[in-house]
Chains A and B, each alone.
Chain A
Amino acid sequence: MLSEIRDERVRSVSRLSRLLSRPELGAAAGTVLVFVFFAITAGNTGLFSAKGIVNFLEVSAQLGILAAPVALLMIAGEFDLSVGSMIGFAGILIAIPSVFWGWPIWLSLLFTFAVCGGIGALNGLAVVRTGLPSFIVTLGSLFMLRGLTLGLTRGISGRTQVSGVHELAQNDPLNSLFSGQVLSGPIAWLANLGLIGKRADGMPAISGIPVSIVWWIVLTLACTWLLTRSRFGNWIFAAGGEANAARNLGVPVARTKITLFVMTALAAALFAAIQVLVTGSADTLRGTQKEFEAIIAVVIGGTLLTGGYGSAIGAMFGALIFGVVQMGIFYTGIDTDWFKLFMGAMMVIAVLFNSYVRNRAMRSR
């Protein structure tokens, strides 16, 4: 028997330093910082009242619904720049058949999800078949979908906005899935106990939790489970980390990537469904720049732009930071023009921090 081979240069690694190489670390720390910052500067403005919390969570939830599947796609090493345009397109697909052709809302919704899923599959197929960077392929889709949305909407309605969805959706079986509120009972109970403030007329300051927040949490948990606990998750990491090695081991890399493009497209359709049913209208410009905001949330969340490393929970923190900063700047009365400057800088810092964490993870022997 040969002697055992041991590396004599090993030192034991503490739990803390292992924690320090988690992808979500930066985003979690950033979230705490942002909360502390606004607790000091906007503590008494109502940002952290029940109403204020629901407001920023709703902003975060919408972005987070996109960010969770976008995180998976980016871990698999691909970008989807078409999600923003897809939101506008999906909104029109929901509104026009219902308003102009008399389709019931549930049918328009199913139709929209099917069409968007199909376009997502086409995006994916185009990327894996041509071997072109997904950045370029989906940049094409970004413009094509926006153009298609404008052309179709103006062609059919003569305008760029379609309203009147509220009245049609009122009794629709799927309406409450996208625009309702949950937990109204417990909220009223908490308000009676005095834990949640009341309005002047004696009603609780909030009547429930918007359903979009539930979608956000459920989607994030589902994506996290997929990533860390399913076979598919292993394939996502491998496809983004070393596609060739994965292929040699029999991982269906192309199928994995196409599935993820379908998921980001469906998330855009879900975003649109919530937006159209909450506001009651669709607009051809909806979703503009959401693709970049989603990428920012994902990158702040610790996912590498080069793929192979990242997390869906991190993307949730990224979206949370986004929401808190956006609403926090509003509540503190700072000119909201400064919001984008802040988010851009935040992302650059996050990228620097991430590559530091990644290098650390690769060194921590």
Chain B
Amino acid sequence: MAEPYVELKSVSKYFGSVVALKDVSFDVRPGEVHCLLGDNGAGKSTLIKTLSGVYTPDEGEIRVQGKPTRFASPADTRDSGIATVYQDLALVPLMSVARNFFLGREPMRKFGPISQFDADFANRTAYDEMSAMGIQLRDPEQPVGTLSGGERQCLAIARAVYFGAKVLILDEPTSALGVHQASVVLKLIVQSKARGIGVIFISHNVHHAYVVGDRFTLLKRGRSTGTYAKGEITRDQLLNLMAGGKELVDLEQELAKSARNGPA
């Protein structure tokens, strides 16, 4: 099995008296999908932000390709091949797909002393990179606002991959999407994996995670309840491990009881 590209070892993070993460270990290898599951407030966001260089851990260490690393900034993290695709996707809806693809890293072409935005290259590259992810654009100059949710995810992912991401951190990429668009995004995840990219898939939807995940790590109140390979755990076990599993059963029983007793 390949060496992990990035690795958190017994990481803890505190905010004043709040223990946001305690002794969490997590890693992702090239070409695998590692799902990070947990309820709201379980520490998923803190873990992502630690991985993407927004927070520095108070205890424990981060290793990139086996070497202990301290990220100075999110830009520093991005330079070491770890790209985070946040829920807002960092897209500008009124700008074209190609211009969004290259925003902040515009390809330039020299005409004598003048260098100008190479629109042809940008259009072609955006189109090709998105079709490599399995999405056929109608027109690379169409505004991003006209894309569907899944296509926007594809743009953000293709952009990260094009600019050298080895690990993709996807923050709840399916949560705001309908059934069809969510399946588009799941396909994108599989596609990225096939290209040898390590994907960290953050979700609280076990159904989505189980379809594409190779390994699953559950966070509960800042602690890891363990990492499981797909063969070691069923979807139902995973569901029960999540906070919602037991609580939904309790709620069900409670409702059944109150129905028997009639209205109070």
Query: Interface residues, chain A, CB within 8 Å of chain B?
Result: 2-7, 10, 13, 225, 228-231, 233-235, 237-238, 241-242, 244-246, 248-251, 308-309, 358, 361-365
Contact = CB atoms under 8 A, between A and B. Distances in A.
Contact of B106 (A231, A245, A246, A364): A231
A237 B92 CA distance: 8
B116 interface: yes
17 contacts: A2-B187, A2-B190, A5-B134, A13-B138, A13-B139, A229-B116, A231-B108, A231-B117, A234-B102, A235-B104, A242-B92, A245-B88, A245-B89, A308-B95, A361-B143, A362-B143, A364-B146
B104 A249 contact: yes
A245 B90 contact: yes
Interface in B162-208: 184, 187, 190-191
Contacts, number: 96
Nearest to A304: B94
Question: In the complex, which range does the number of interface residues on chain B fall in?
Answer: 35 or more
A251 B136 contact: no
Contacts of B106: 231, 234
B150 to A, nearest CB: 7
A244 to B, nearest CB: 7
A19 to B, nearest CB: 13
B117 A249 contact: no
A231 B102 CA distance: 10
B184 A241 contact: no
A154 B93 CA distance: 51
Closest 9 A/B residue pairs (Cβ): A249-B104, A241-B92, A250-B104, A245-B90, A242-B92, A362-B145, A229-B116, A308-B94, A231-B106
Interface of B: 75, 86, 88-95, 99, 102-106, 108, 116-117, 119, 131, 134-136, 138-139, 142-143, 145-146, 148, 150-151, 184, 187, 190-191
A238 B190 contact: no
Given A242-B93, A246-B104, A251-B104, A4 B136 contact: yes
Contact of B91 (A237, A242, A361): A242
Contacts of B151: 7
A251 B138 contact: no
Contacts of B135: 4-5
